[in-house]
Structure 1
Amino acid sequence: MEDQHLHLLLRPFLPPTNSFFYVINKIKFTSSDPKIVLRLFSVAFIGILSIWANHEASKGFEIHIENGATISPAGCRFQLLYVSNDKATRLVLTTSKFVETILYPITNTNTNSTSLPKKQVNRVTLRLAGRNPTHSVTVESLKEHDFVLNLSPSLMEEANIDQAMSRAVQQGMARVWLYDNAPNFLINGMVEYISSLAEFGGVSDSGSTVLLENDDNCWEDENARTVAHFLNYCEEHKKGFIQRLNQAMEGRWHDRTVDNALGVPAQHLCTSYMSRKYLLVESLESTSI
């Protein structure tokens, strides 16, 4: 009796039957259904698309690199040094990030967001021009929110190509992110201010001893470095001035735009700035005698 009971315990609860194998075969057949394969392919495609979208979102805008001087020595050098290894794309991203940090500082580190509305930039094209323009870099926008940085081929002839390229692209990206409803001399001064911070970590003192053409408004000068030096002086005394001025340059320009960004009449700071400048000039002249 005990042997019979033990034998029953050792028997499987669900003995294999023909119907069981039929179920297994049924499952195998169903998994090979073309509809299932199509669904799996769709899921994979959506995953790839999501990865690509996240990559594009991390850049914030599309980047295109063009070589308009392909057959020239400069074009060949540009292709070898900046296009073939994707260095041109990285240069656009790093310089853009620097400008954004200055003009649109992050106020919430958890969401990586800024309280200031950013200028909309959808696409940036970095192009080596076929011939030398008047400047090392010029920026044009043939379509709203799309920008083209035209680089001079002469940059490929510089002794330090990387340094010259970095400065040119930095200036170009500064113009991309700056609002431009302002006089040219102020925009040029803003570009020089940002480029100097990127290249030297601060605004060069070379503009501190240059006498201004207009003592009434220190930012109205054709010398971009001189304007940049005054803008730096304003930022030192009124933190956030550069960001506020850029935001004001989005709207309609008027005579009190700089005053409003400073929070005080610009003439007040201009007076103290000029006093310091003259003292510095006199000090340098006395030491040179």
Structure 2
Amino acid sequence: MEDYHLLHPLLPNTITAATVDVPTSTNPSDDDNIKLVSSNSKIILRLFFIVVVGVLSLWANHEASKGFQIKIQNNAAADSAASRQFDLLYVSNDKATRLVLKTSKFVETILYPNPNTTQPKKQVNRVTLGLTSRNLTHMVMVESLKEHEFVLLLSPSIFMEETNVDHAMLRAVQNGMSRVWLYNNNAPKSLIDGMVEYISGLAGLGGGAAAEDFSGGGNQPESDNICWKDENPRAVAHFLNYCEVYKKGFIQRLNQGMRVGWNDRTVEDAIGMPAQHVCASYMSQKKHHLSTSSPLESRAQ
């Protein structure tokens, strides 16, 4: 049987030429009319092209101003179980990208609820979500090697040790995007961890965000009453929620304060009272709650 190459022509090499009679015009005015129509058509096409390019440019700029670039990477060994699950469950169906967008929108709504106000929004140009080749101390770690560009490093333990992979991934990416959008100008690690936990609590992913929930309490530093220096993120998250209930908009003001630069008055400026007073009030309600073992009957006004 004869083999056919994919590049062989579908028609024979010898083609019989066909003669077609094309009517010609002997009237010069007809030729002028044809040239005029052709010229006008070219002008219209050029104008249409310019308009299309302009609209596309405006649309692209508008879309760029609303978001950031997203890149998904799988740096784990190709034959590893974690790598295969990540590709199958989150890369092949673009779920990883949607997860970044979903969690980002949630964090932005909390930290920047009014984009048209004078409170500037943190600049984020690119977010890379990548699965690492080795287990990390946390499910997610955030790096920023270039200005306005962030890398969320996922630990393979999410796929190897967690019973609910979807919940673990959601919590990890939510925590990562919280760190991306939070200003962090030398703020205490305990405060940043607490703010991340606070946002996770609002997202229903755990934490001490509920005003009546003191289950996250740790050992408060009684010596200086600085409640946000607790090493337990849930304890700090609950304190932050107490401050938000006390004075609405506290979380946004605190985040903006960290943009300017951190000092011990940043929390005080955000809530409008000395740290010792707000910590003393918080500790008083906490002790009262623990002693009565019932929900708080009132909130700070």
Does the pair score TM above 0.5? yes
CA shift at 1:268, angstroms? 1.3
- Is the contact between residue 155 and residue 161 of structure 1 (CA under 8 Å) also seen in structure 2? yes
- Answer with 232-241 or 264-273: which moved more: 264-273
Equivalence for 2:270: 261
Residue 250 of structure 1 aligns to a residue in which SS?
Answer: helix
Offset of 1:47 from its aligned partner?
4.7
1:251 paired residue number: 260
Q: Provide the rounded CA distance (Å) in 1 between the counterparts of 2:86 and 2:94.
A: 11
Q: Identify the residue that residue 137 of structure 1 maps to in structure 2.
A: 140
Of the three residues 200, 209, 212, the one matched with 1:203 is: 209
Task: State the one-letter code of the partner of 1:144.
Answer: E
Map 1:1-289 to 2 at 5 A.
18-27=27-36, 29-30=38-39, 44=52, 47-58=55-66, 60-69=67-76, 71=78, 72-106=80-114, 113-157=116-160, 158-181=162-185, 182-199=187-204, 203-204=209-210, 207-208=214-215, 210-215=217-222, 216-284=225-293
Do the aligned residues in 1 keep the contact of 2:140 with 2:155 (CA within 8 Å)?
yes
CA change 1:279–1:243 in 2 (3 A) is: same
Cα shift readout 1:49-108 (whole Å, capped 9, x = no counterpart): 5444443333x21111111125122112111221222211111111111111111112xx
Gapped regions of structure 1 (runs ≥ 5): 1-16, 107-111
* TM score, norm. by length of structure 2: 0.78
CA distance in 2, matches of 1:70, 1:57: 36
Unaligned runs of 5+ in 2: 1-25, 295-301
Distance 1:191 1:139 in 2: 12
Bigger Cα displacement from structure 2, 268-277 vs 222-231: 268-277
- What is the count of residue pairs matched by the alignment? 263
Specify which structure has the higher proportion of helix: 1
Q: 1:109 maps to what in 2?
A: none
- Give, in whole Å, the separation in 2 of the partners of 1:200 and 1:65: 23
Give the RMSD, CA atoms, in angstroms: 2.8
How far off is 1:20 after superposition? 4.2
Task: Measure, in 1, the Cα distance between the counterparts of 2:58 and 2:87.
Answer: 30
- SS of the aligned residue for 2:143 comes to strand
Encode CA deviations 1:218-261: one digit per residue, 9 max, x unaligned. Answer: 11110000000011011100111111111111123222221111
CA distance in 2, matches of 1:141, 1:186: 19
Q: C-alpha separation between the residues in 2 aligned to 1:114 and 1:82?
A: 36
- Alpha-carbon deviations, 1:177-204, whole Å to 9, x = none? 1111211001100111011101259715
